[in-house]
Amino acid sequence: MLKNSMWRQRRVVVPKRTIELIALMAISCTFFLFLHTRELHSRLRKMEVRLQPGEDEILSAKQLSSEGVQTESTPSGNDHYSSLLRVTEKYVEPDVLDIGALNNTKKAARLVLFFNRVPKVGSQTFMELLRRLSMRNGFSFNRDRVQRVETIRLAPIEQLQLARMVTSYSEPSVYVKHVCFTNFTKFNLPEPIYINVVRDPVERVISWYYYVRAPWYYVERKQIFPDLPLPDPNWLKKDFETCVLKGDRECRYVEGEIHEGIGDHRRQTLFFCGHSEKCTPFNTVGALERAKLAVEKHYAVVGVLEDINATLTVLENYVPRFFRGATQVYHDQTHAFTSINRNFFKPPVSEEVKEIVRRNFTREVEFYQFCKQRLYRQLRALKLTNADFTLNNRL
């Protein structure tokens, strides 16, 4: 009894309003925690959407298989892309790289090299290099004719015609054309050896901007197509920096925008993604993933303009039948190659303006970095295996 009496005396009486205040604070804290958790969840979902194709962009297993992209099925029945290097995964380079796994040359069913060249990546230089190597290494060199309007995306029947024409060339042969990646196996035709070159996408779009404004460009085209109308002088005089800073239609690079024709060469991924309509929207996840998959599965080598030495070394060792001696030929006549298609009318562009443009080229930049990393893995594998390694004399 005495102990209970003492406990009652020690109890602190809490006013009713204080209890209500504490309860209100508890409810408020719970509410704010709920809002914060929901915000974090929302941000996580946005990140997942950015890192993976959306419903309108994701490729079904049937689409991937029909376009020659390998899928694998899990026991649960879900499909995943075995050759895709996901952005979410941190790439850990093994101690020893498998040079065979990094080269698709061995997949080619015929000794025909298909260079579906991207514009403004030094492709004319590589085309001239191949022409000179054809005499040295004994293969046939073929290229498409100059067109009034360049057709990059082809209808299915045109893709078939192109694949049949390239397949008809006698071995060994090279064919060069500005065109999207064309999957020959889709038409039950033997796969050629695919190669290409990429360039920093912002530098490339600047190069294209001034290329189509160069006086000699229109002189050459006027000679070939006399009835071609001359462009507006004000358009010719407009510089890239003003175009970007004023937000002109030509220099607004809007994500998801579709723009066809000679005036739009902003989408480097298009030349690897393919002819599908899903490849046409600018700077989208779907086009990026398709382009990555095509490179991983089909291309023997994708060179990088900014690193000619690495590009030539990899080409020379991974596709030796066509590129044997490429480094020597290039460096023996460096001046002749570096002056090809050089535009002396292109003024410098400030880094500030380049950075403004770069913000809208996020996935194009990611694809460029992806191709560069792949090239360096191929180079590293080559050095680790044997400095003078060649895959096969036949290839």
The residues assigned a catalytic role are 178
Mention every residue, 6+ apart, whose C-beta is less than 8 A from residue 199: 118, 120, 121, 122, 207, 268, 304, 305, 306, 368
Cis bond before residue 172 (omega within 30° of 0):
yes
For the chain, percent helix, then strand, then coil, each to nearest 5?
50, 5, 40
What does the block give as tokens for 164? 């049949």
Give the bridge partners for 299, in sequence order. 194
**Helix 351-358 vs helix 201-211: crossing angle, to nearest 10:** 110
User: By the 8 A CB rule, do 265 and 119 touch?
Assistant: yes
User: By the 8 A CB rule, do 83 and 70 touch?
Assistant: yes
120 vs 175, 268, 314, CA distance in Å? 18, 10, 21
DSSP codes joined into one string, 19-65: HHHHHHHHHHHHHHHHHHHHHHHHHHHHHHHHHS--TTTPPPHHHHH
